[in-house]
Amino acid sequence: MSGFVEKPEPLQVPGLVHLHTGKVRELYQNEAGDLVMVASDRMSAFDWVLPTEIPDKGRVLTQLSLWWFERLQDLIGNHVISTDVPDGAPDDWAGRTMVCKSLRMVPVECVARGYLTGSGLAEYEQTRTVCGLALPEGLSDGSELPAPIFTPATKAAVGEHDENVSYEEVARQVGAETAAYLRQSTLAVYSLARDIARDRGIILADTKFEFGFDGDELIIADEVLTPDSSRFWPAASWEPGRAQPSYDKQFVRDWLTSPASGWDRKSEQPPPALPQEVVEATRTKYVEAYELLTGTAWH
Ligand SMILES: Nc1ncnc2c1ncn2[C@@H]1O[C@H](COP(=O)(O)OP(=O)(O)O)[C@@H](O)[C@H]1O
Ligand SMILES: [Mg+2]
């Protein structure tokens, strides 16, 4: 079992049709037919959406995505139309709302990895491959790869696990031309972002993009290069051969797997509420990622 511990009741706003409750975002359609994406403060870990929110998280994710979209715009078009809060929506939507082009989404999680960890490491240890791509001997948890790789995954429903798929499988599903474009764009955007982050003392170990068709043009959508969609590691403490401290979920994962939580990850039970100090420490990490990357103070 997994998914929402408490499924949220979406707010109804006159003039907006509620489309979907994602793990983190509420999706609406406005009267112009555009998509209104509102990021909540919800947090997920171990495939659960936790019962405790992290204050400011929705705004941090939204502001960071917008900052990145701007940095990337010479490389790739994006779905943002405006950040206006729709008439009749509550004031607290400000800063966490993006009005976007409603795209025909490509159902592939476009992952780029420049470093080995997580599901990539697990596969490497079995077969010396990641998503079927051969890698050299001698890599360990946190190692930099010889070059970044495209390791697509299928998009899973809430509570399910994304599954890595081969490039050939993606090409079968979306066509050879689209697959080639996804791979090339994913690697180009990752490489640019990796260099920007590196200058600011952050290693962008891996990240996930989603793309969609605006007419017949493929552009980048969803959120980009946030702590929710990426692994950020402090460059100063990077040391291959062990798990790296991650920027965002470390405190939450550590606490949930510690005896203090009383929760057994492998049980069917939903995870418990987070204690205040874990909430605060996590909020601080999200804000710190924002401040380091953008070079501006959070307010
Ligand atoms: N421009 C867009 N057009 C249509 N759908 C989009 C667009 N941008 C993002 N999405 C979709 O909106 C949802 C974002 O909500 P989120 O809470 O992140 O969901 P998830 O639980 O799927 O990660 C995702 O399903 C994503 O594919
Ligand atoms: Mg998402």
Pick from 57, 68, 67: which is nearest to 24 by CA?
57
State the pTM of this model: 0.95
Average pLDDT, the chain: 95
Q: How far is the CA of 27 from the centre of ligand 1 (A)?
A: 8
pLDDT of residue 4: 92
Residue owning the nearest CA to atom 8 of ligand 1: 222
pLDDT of residue 270: 93
Written as one letter, the residue type at 9 is: E
Q: Which residues line ligand 1 (CB under 6 A)?
A: 22-25, 27, 35, 79, 100-103, 105, 158, 210, 212, 221-222
pLDDT band for position 71 (cuts 50, 70, 90): very high
CA distance 24 to 45: 12
For the sheet with 48-49, list strands across it: 3-4, 48-49, 44-45
Q: pLDDT per residue over 167-209, tens digit each?
A: 999 999 999 999 999 999 999 999 999 999 999 999 999 999 9
Q: pLDDT per residue over 242-265, tens digit each?
A: 999 888 788 898 999 999 999 999
CA distance 93 to 214: 26
For residue 162, give the ligand nearest its CA. 1
pLDDT of residue 201: 96
Give the chain's domains with CATH numbers. 1-102 (3.30.200.20), 104-237 (3.30.470.20)
For residue 107, give the ligand nearest its CA. 1
Q: In the predicted model, is pLDDT for residue 75 greater than 70?
A: yes
Q: How far is the CA of 210 from the centre of ligand 2 (A)?
A: 9
pLDDT band for position 2 (cuts 50, 70, 90): low
